[in-house]
Amino acid sequence: MEVFEAIRTRRSVRKFDPSHRMSATEIDQLMAHVILSPTAFNIQNWRFIAVADAELRAEIRKAAWDQAQVADASLLLVLCMDLKSWDKTPERYYANAPAHVCDAMVREIRHFYGDDEQLQRDEGMRSCGMAAQSAMLAAKAMGYESCPMSGFDFKRVGHLINLPPDHRIGMMVCIGKPVAAAYPRAGQLALDDVFMRDGFPDRGD
């Protein structure tokens, strides 16, 4: 599927065929493209949990206020962030770069993120957001629909997936075969309402 078409036609679908599951090959294909998503300093701070176990799905559904797509989707992907990825052998992010480049980047990474927990979390949210969009567009190209989700009890789902203490959940994405079309777009803002050149208009203060 052409990229512009995938962007135009991607919609949040919440009703999926519960009998369909993605094959391991399809999941590998999807994730091989998702991990090409950009991250600052190439720290690759996202971590992905594909939830396949039916009982675990049912528990996560309870934590998501009984939203059916959690259990019915072909793939339930929990996007997490490793808050300390910047300090976990960061040399590996530049394994193919010259040694002087690797050394310089590692110094920059530690200077940038050290002792700034808010920045570490913000960076994780940015990374998860970009990875989620990659997942949804890749799914569309593979003939699937998707639904990004933040409507769930983050602490409960973290407990269910055994989330490490230095990780946080960014969001979930449900991917599957739809059994009902998405609702029409409810109200798209005009481009002029959200897109400006060189800054916001002068408020006249």
Domain membership of residue 122 (yes or no) is: yes
What pLDDT shows up at residue 162? 98
Which residues make beta-bridge pairs with 49?
A: 78
Segment 115-151, tens digit of pLDDT? 999 999 999 999 999 999 999 999 999 999 999 999 9
Q: Report the candidate in 174, 119, 184, 183 with the shortest Cα–Cα distance to residue 146.
A: 174
Domain membership of residue 36 (yes or no) is: yes
Domain membership of residue 203 (yes or no) is: no
Domain membership of residue 194 (yes or no) is: no
Segment 80-122, tens digit of pLDDT? 999 999 999 999 999 999 999 999 999 999 999 999 999 999 9
Domain membership of residue 153 (yes or no) is: yes
Domain membership of residue 200 (yes or no) is: no
In this structure, is the dihedral angle defined by the CA atoms of residues 71, 72, 77 and 78, taken in order, positive or negative?
negative
CA distance 203 to 52: 52
For residue 67, the enclosing domain spans 3-180
Which pTM was predicted?
0.94
CA distance 144 to 57: 19
DSSP of 98-135? -HHHHHHHHHHHHHHHTT-HHHHHHHHHHHHHHHHHHH
138 alpha-carbon distance from chain centroid: 12
Q: Between residues 183 and 27, which one has the greater pLDDT?
A: 27
Count: domains in the chain: 1
Q: Report the candidate in 119, 121, 33 with the shortest Cα–Cα distance to residue 77.
A: 33
> Mean of the per-residue pLDDT values for the chain?
96
CB 75 within 8 A of CB 175: yes
pLDDT exceeds 70 at position 205: no
Show the tokens assigned to 97.
């770069």
- The CATH number covering residue 81 comes to 3.40.109.10
Domain membership of residue 14 (yes or no) is: yes
pLDDT exceeds 80 at position 68: yes
Q: Torsion angle of alpha carbons 118, 119, 125, 127, nearest 10°? A: -160
Domain membership of residue 159 (yes or no) is: yes
